[in-house]
């Protein structure tokens, strides 16, 4: 399957799962909202330019926004993690040139520990920004802090489950073959 087809299918699936499964769950607590959709942005290939990365993320966030009737909210958060993604990757990639040997960020291509940090940092940034935008319109500081932490915890658990369930095989690519 080509990268384009694979990512188009992921685009649709992530939005449908987020809206029709995760947003339909009865809330356990006001702080706990399960988010997984932004994993799409984290899984986009290394080879994409920063601009196209941001543009795709913007469209992705906006598509979810039209389901939740909050135009711009998720789009803003997605664009931010798309912009910051490459900085985080550059810091965390184990050796020079690893991003040329593998297609996209995954536990195999980056190693479990750097990948976990990559997910943790971007998840935290995404949720801080998302909840901040909600908070600007209403809410208290305790609400902000509690929601960021609780939501990040749930999201990390969901990401772990997704990574284990849908294990992505990453081929090691060299220019000799």
Partner 1 sequence: MRNIFLFIRRYFNFVFFVVLQVVALYILFHYNKFHEAVFSGVANELTGNVGGKYTNIANYFKLKSANDQLAKENVELRNLVFSNFTRPDTSQKLVQDSVPYDTLGHFRKYLWRGARVVNNSVSLPNNTLTIARGENQGVHRNMGVISANGVVGVVINTSSNYAVVMSLLHRQSKISASLKKTGETGQVSWDGSSPLYITLRHIPKSAPIAKGDSVVTSAYASYFPPGILIGTIIDVVDDESSSFYTLRLKPATNFFNVQYVSVVENLLKDEQARLEEETNKINQ
Q: Taking the complex as a whole, how short is the minimal distance between the CB of residue 131 and partner 1, in angstroms?
A: 10
Q: Taking the complex as a whole, how short is the minimal distance between the CB of residue 61 and partner 1, in angstroms?
A: 7
72 phi, psi to nearest 5 deg = 100, -20
Q: Taking the complex as a whole, how short is the minimal distance between the CB of residue 69 and partner 1, in angstroms?
A: 5
| Residues touching partner 1, count (CB under 8 A) | 34
Task: Compare residues 66 and 167 and give the one whose CB is closer to partner 1.
Answer: 66
Asked if 137 is part of the footprint of partner 1 (rule: CB under 8 A), the reply reads: yes
Per-residue tokens: 44: 């986009």
Residues near 114 by beta carbon (within 8 Å), at least 6 away in sequence: 92, 93, 94
CA dist 29 → 36, 38, 127, 128, 138 (Å): 18, 21, 17, 18, 18
Single out the residue of 8, 13, 139, 157 in contact with partner 1 (rule: CB under 8 A): 139
Task: Compare residues 11 and 23 and give the one whose CB is closer to partner 1.
Answer: 23
Per-residue tokens: 126: 């995404």
Residue 150: name the closest of 70, 36, 30 by CA.
30
Touching partner 1, residues 19-58 (CB under 8 A): 20, 23-27, 30, 33, 50-51, 54-55, 58
Residue whose entry in the numeric block shows the structure tokens 């000799």: 176
* Binding positions for partner 1, rule: CB under 8 A: 16, 20, 23-27, 30, 33, 50-51, 54-55, 58, 61-62, 66-73, 75-76, 79-80, 83, 133-134, 137-139
């Amino acid at each position: 399957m080509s990268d384009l087809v694979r990512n188009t299918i992921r685009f649709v699936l992530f939005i449908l799962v987020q809206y029709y499964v995760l947003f339909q769950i009865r809330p356990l607590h006001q702080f706990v909202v399960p988010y997984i959709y932004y994993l799409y942005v984290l899984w986009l290939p290394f080879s994409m330019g920063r601009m196209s990365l941001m543009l795709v993320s913007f469209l992705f966030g906006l598509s979810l926004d039209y389901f939740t009737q909050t135009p711009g909210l998720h789009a803003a958060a997605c664009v931010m993690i798309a912009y910051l993604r490459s900085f985080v990757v550059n810091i965390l990639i184990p050796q020079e040139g690893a991003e040329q040997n593998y297609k996209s960020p995954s536990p195999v291509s980056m190693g479990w520990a750097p990948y976990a940090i990559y997910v943790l940092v971007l998840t935290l940034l995404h949720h801080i920004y998302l909840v901040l935008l909600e908070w600007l319109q209403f809410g208290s500081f305790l609400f902000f802090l509690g929601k960021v932490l609780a939501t990040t915890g749930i999201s990390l658990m969901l990401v772990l489950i997704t990574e284990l369930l849908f294990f992505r095989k990453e081929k090691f690519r060299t220019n000799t073959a």
